[in-house]
Structure 1
């Protein structure tokens, strides 16, 4: 009996240790299965890499190595709320998705419209602004006053934008649309006169161009397609961070800061549009329906 008792003790301790190890392993597997393998927060070290434009006055432009415009104001406001600051870099329109999916940039805040297709591969917090696509012409050119006047005219757009996609529709096949590499080239084409009759992109962007190009103007009564909703874009897998940005954006839209930043960055819009806040400021219900989702909430 004594021998059996002497051997029973060690076997019992060994069994308890093995059971404990098995339980720990199961806990680790369960935690992984529950989704705790989400990447570290984008805000963890307080600096966030933000891709934005450099050639869109009013929305995002670089002058003397400083980024300014409404997109950059939005970035600074909402990131401050979540305890971070933006480190800006330049991203062309056609590269906005790529810099997020290859992890070279944390966020893109670059007049990037939220679409059903883009929501499948990226998360968005937004919108932070709403605008329709329009037309810009030379200030002294009064040939284009209504949509029918654009038929047969040469209209410049650039790749990677919803503007180019919209004008590919069959209803616009009588417009001579062509692409240049970027916005600046389209603006130059318009100024040359014989190259382009008009430039088409979102009205918010076009009004920004007129602030540094007083010889150009936006035709107010011509718009194309549905409203574009600008969002803060990020790669999938950071849903908690996305929700924090959504909440920060809702607070931003809820006080006077949004209107102050918008009017400061884009003074040409309040001058031209008496109902500019109604026309360009998103509603919080829209933010809720489009933010941090794989598809819009219906």
Structure 2
């Protein structure tokens, strides 16, 4: 598993490396004194490693939830995760919680637990700026589409929607967009609109956001399946985040410059257990 733990005291790094997470010590993230949280490290506006630390919407959401659980920001150990690593990180006890564009699916629920969702995104499409042919998902017929390892976004187009497209896999969406799409190796990248918006804001002249959403992607908080009390505590914190206006503020801060229709009402929770 490729992970990155940044800007941490040595003692905290060793705890993460030996699996001494809150769940390992207490059995639940509820009432924990410290937390190890997995986030993305390569997705602008969501979870990005920069200057020896992490920043982005999901990092801020995770920090808020941790605070509501009674954990100070200085007691959070951040671990950068690729999409393909999220289930193993939870099952192996490497992290207590995962905030990493982690869409809740029945397949994933067989392996890990989920709190939330804390936001409902929508799958959309990014193409090169000069591409005027793709206007919705049906226009991907006969194209090459890139998806990150561990993601199901391209598979969903081909298998669920019956679009005859060729799938190309890269390690992460950064490679899909900044290499495969930018260099013309593929014609499109399709994944959650928040992910695409982050990359577009980083390089607005190079790409075009199609803005034709066609799925609901419920961003859940990955958590140990047996930690029901922790799941319920996280759900309570997410509810408070929307009720006190923090969710709206964070969405505006990180995505307000985009054309996305940002939803600021409390999502319908999946339920714990």
TM-score, normalization by structure 1: 0.77
Rg (Cα) greater in structure: 1
Cα 1:125–1:171 shift into 2, 3 Å: closer
Matches within 5 A, 1:41-120: 41-42=28-29, 44-84=31-71, 85=73, 86-120=76-110
One of 276, 284, 287 as aligned partner of 2:262: 276
Unaligned runs of 5+ in 2: 1-24
Aligned residue pairs total 244
Residue 190 of structure 1 corresponds to: 181
Q: For residues 29-76 of structure 1, give each alpha carbon's deviation from its aligned partner in whole angstroms, at most 9, with x where no partner exists.
A: xxxxxxxxx953335552200011111001111111121111101101
Contact 2:58 2:100 in 1 (8 A): yes
Structure 2 distance, partners of 1:198, 1:170, is: 18
Contact 2:39 2:47 in 1 (8 A): yes
Structure with greater helix percent:
1
TM-score, normalization by structure 2: 0.83
RMSD (Å) for aligned C-alpha atoms: 1.9
1:254 aligns with 2:243: yes
Residue 209 of structure 2 corresponds to: 218
Residue 234 of structure 1 corresponds to: 223
Unaligned runs of 5+ in 1: 1-37, 294-298
Cα 1:149–1:41 shift into 2, 3 Å: closer
